[in-house]
């Protein structure tokens, strides 16, 4: 490994810069914008194919925001996201909390740099400073040392790891498409072709609520077979639970004896009641339990697939039940008063048959994603240290 070198990020980069935030009070900086604008919340060891917000050409010319070249490496610098990294697969701009690195292509493969920084996450976080929150800076990142093999070996290492991420991306896109199919079927059958007169029953009459809130069990961050599912693991528009984000676990004795209301089961709907309220996922894989800030809704007199899709369709309305003063929160007593339309049973059965197949495929894909992520994370430090060489 004598040909491997220790170089700072500044030495292998053609450009390092932070981004900028155009004034939010200027609607002409945002309205009908066509330039993707990245926030640090969107950085999570991932590839960026699009952003939540767009800005205008005028915003670029009149603010500190700037265009960042495609295939740059972007590191979040502030707060809880500090040290997280992404690759932008599109030309974009970023806020000021992003450090944007465009590698010198003659020296450094951008994919290798991305994976190397992924492998050094803890070291980067340890360099953070600040009393109120942990922050990095462009200067600190610029001086960060990386171990750099010859370019051809960088490319081979990057190919191995990228091939795994390519497969993960494909499976994630498949799951997104499956979710969209389920939503489309629901909308067609139960919204566009809705019955004129449809009986409505309150949620409380149709389900059982599993509620372990009130106290927090003794937990460990060491992985066990009994994860505690928290709000961050509920996956937005995707119904599967992201177990890779779980940080708390309990032992077998606590799992069997502490949780007074029991545990969620297959096809239960998990619902967040505090913080990011109204987030929902489905127990496609009956593993884990719930405590604070989440309840499980168990469909007993209604299809769980239909119920999940209906609750997702009124998610924005549900969030308006917020009663929190310090942070958003929803009362379960308010939740169970929601009226659920009960369509024709034949149509619900038809939807169930489709939705069940969709959920099974999503579950298979997600299990495969977890295996690929585990393999990638095992190989990553070994490849970056030279313990495993790619011929």
Three-state secondary structure call for residue 227: strand
The tokens of 344 are what?
Answer: 């024709």
Per-residue CA distances from 273 to 114, 247, 263, 278, 330 (Å): 36, 19, 17, 6, 5
Q: Which residue has the tokens 């740059």?
A: 72
Q: What is the pTM of this model?
A: 0.85
For the chain, the structural domain boundaries read 5-148, 151-178+348-391, 199-342
Identify the CATH assignment for 5-148 out of 3.40.190.10, 3.90.220.20, 3.40.50.300, 3.30.420.40.
Answer: 3.90.220.20
DSSP E strand stretches across 165-235: 199-202, 207-210, 228-229
d(CA 245, CA 364): 19
Q: Which residue has the tokens 């960042």?
A: 68
d(CA 169, CA 86): 14
Identify the CATH assignment for 199-342 out of 3.40.190.10, 3.40.50.2300, 1.20.120.790, 3.90.220.20.
Answer: 3.90.220.20
In a structure prediction context, what are the per-residue pLDDT tens digits for the chain, which is 391 residues long?
678 999 999 999 999 999 999 999 999 999 999 999 999 999 999 999 999 999 999 999 999 999 999 999 999 999 889 999 999 999 999 999 999 999 999 999 999 999 999 999 999 999 887 655 678 999 999 999 999 999 999 999 999 999 999 999 999 999 999 999 999 999 999 999 888 788 999 999 999 999 999 889 999 999 999 999 999 899 777 899 988 889 999 999 999 999 999 999 999 999 999 988 999 999 998 899 999 999 999 999 999 999 999 999 999 999 998 887 778 899 999 999 999 999 999 999 999 999 999 999 999 999 999 999 999 999 999 999 989 988 7
d(CA 96, CA 108): 25
3-state SS of 316-347 is: HHHHCCCCCCCCCECCHHHHCCCEEEECCHHH
Whether 5-148 shares its CATH topology with 199-342 is answered yes
- With the C-alpha atoms ordered 118, 362, 201, 229, is the resulting torsion angle positive or negative? negative
């Amino acid at each position: 490994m004598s040909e491997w070198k220790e170089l700072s990020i500044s030495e292998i980069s053609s450009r390092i810069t932070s981004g900028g935030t155009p004034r939010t009070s200027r609607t002409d900086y945002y309205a009908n914008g066509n330039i993707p604008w990245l926030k640090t919340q969107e950085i999570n060891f991932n590839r960026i194919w699009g952003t939540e917000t767009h800005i205008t050409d005028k915003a670029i010319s009149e603010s500190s925001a700037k265009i960042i070249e495609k295939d740059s490496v972007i590191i979040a610098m502030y707060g809880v996201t500090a040290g997280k990294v992404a690759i932008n697969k599109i030309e974009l701009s970023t806020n000021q909390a992003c450090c944007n690195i465009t590698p010198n292509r003659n020296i450094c493969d951008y994919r290798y740099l991305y994976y190397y920084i992924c492998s050094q996450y803890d070291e980067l976080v340890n360099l953070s400073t600040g009393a109120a929150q942990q922050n990095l800076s462009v200067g600190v990142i610029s001086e960060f040392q990386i171990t750099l093999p010859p370019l051809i070996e960088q490319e081979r290492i990057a190919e191995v790891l990228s091939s795994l991420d390519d497969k993960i991306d494909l499976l994630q896109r498949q799951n997104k498409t499956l979710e969209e199919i389920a939503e489309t079927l629901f909308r067609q059958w139960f919204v566009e072709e809705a019955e004129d007169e449809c009986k409505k029953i309150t949620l409380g009459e149709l389900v059982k609520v599993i509620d372990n809130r009130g106290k927090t069990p003794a937990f460990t961050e060491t992985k066990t077979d009994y994860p505690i599912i928290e709000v961050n693991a509920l996956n937005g528009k995707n119904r599967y639970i992201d177990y890779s984000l779980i940080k708390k676990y309990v032992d077998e004795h606590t799992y069997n004896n502490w949780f007074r209301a029991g545990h969620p089961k297959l096809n239960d709907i998990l619902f967040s009641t505090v913080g990011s309220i109204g987030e929902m996922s489905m127990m496609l894989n009956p593993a884990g339990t719930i405590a604070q800030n989440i309840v499980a809704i168990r469909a007993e007199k209604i299809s769980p697939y239909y119920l999940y899709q209906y609750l997702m369709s009124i998610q924005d309305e549900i969030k308006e039940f917020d009663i929190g003063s310090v942070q958003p929160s929803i009362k379960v007593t308010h939740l169970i008063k929601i009226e659920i339309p009960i369509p024709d049973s034949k149509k619900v059965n038809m939807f169930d048959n489709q939705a069940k197949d969709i959920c099974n495929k999503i579950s298979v894909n997600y299990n495969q994603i977890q295996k690929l992520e585990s393999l990638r994370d095992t190989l990553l430090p070994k490849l970056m240290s030279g313990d495993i060489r790619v011929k």
